[in-house]
Amino acid sequence: MPASHSLSEPDVLLHACCGPCAVGVVSVFEQEGHCVLPFFYNPNIHPAQEFLQRLEAFHKLCTHHGLPAVVVAEYGLEMFLEAVLGSDKPRCEVCYELRLFETARRARARGMKYFSTTLTISPYQNHELIQQVGRRAAKAHGVEFIYKDLRERLKVAHEMSDALGLYRQRYCGCIFSEQERYARALARAAEQARSWSSV
């Protein structure tokens, strides 16, 4: 990535879920002639320590490459849970909506033509749903959503982030995915506990 972006006016507000994903996506847009402004907005991330580690990795990436950035550093657990538990939609759809609609809104407010997300570098995300939500957000705020299937760049992104010493997470970030991550261990613990219990 170029060392400085001060000579170009950003035209893509790029929602960044984390530093390791961003490092593999920003360069793709730049190679196509775009000037990217990364946007860290992830109220889904839990627990607080995980949020802080991802925020630090994002800051480290932007600082290393001289990238200006927009950051919402408030820990959004309560808002995220209210949104998910108060909706009849699948939780991932609500999560995508929270982040992509806010990205589109801010892109419009800044007079930017496009918005996108680093989520599309992950093979673990629902790409069809991301596209659907992105199109709805684009229509709602009068900006264009750029979808890129960048899953083939995940390995490169990991190598680049490792070279920079960026923290790399092991789950998508939300409390529900964390529970699923430990589902087998929790089930085993519950089974063991039943054998210990006298009730």
Which pLDDT tens digit goes with each residue over 94-140?
999 999 999 999 999 999 999 999 999 999 999 999 999 999 999 99
Q: How confident is the model at residue 4 (pLDDT cuts 50, 70, 90)?
A: very low
> Residue 56 pLDDT > 60, yes or no?
yes
pTM over cut 0.95: no
Mean pLDDT throughout 164-189? 86
Q: How confident is the model at residue 159 (pLDDT cuts 50, 70, 90)?
A: very high
- Of residues 198 and 81, more confidently modeled: 81
> Residue 5 pLDDT > 70, yes or no?
no
Give the whole-number percent of the chain exceeding pLDDT 70.
95
Mean pLDDT throughout 48-64? 96
Residues 6+ apart with CB under 8 A from 157: 20, 21, 23, 24, 25, 121
Domains of the chain from N-terminus onward: 12-174 (3.40.50.620)
Compute the distance between CA of residue 16 and CA of residue 58 in angstroms, rounded to an integer: 8
Instruction: Determine the pLDDT at residue 198.
Output: 61
Instruction: Determine the pLDDT at residue 189.
Output: 84
> Residue 62 pLDDT > 60, yes or no?
yes
Instruction: Determine the pLDDT at residue 199.
Output: 55
Q: How confident is the model at residue 188 (pLDDT cuts 50, 70, 90)?
A: confident
Mean pLDDT throughout 70-92? 96
Instruction: Determine the pLDDT at residue 3.
Output: 41
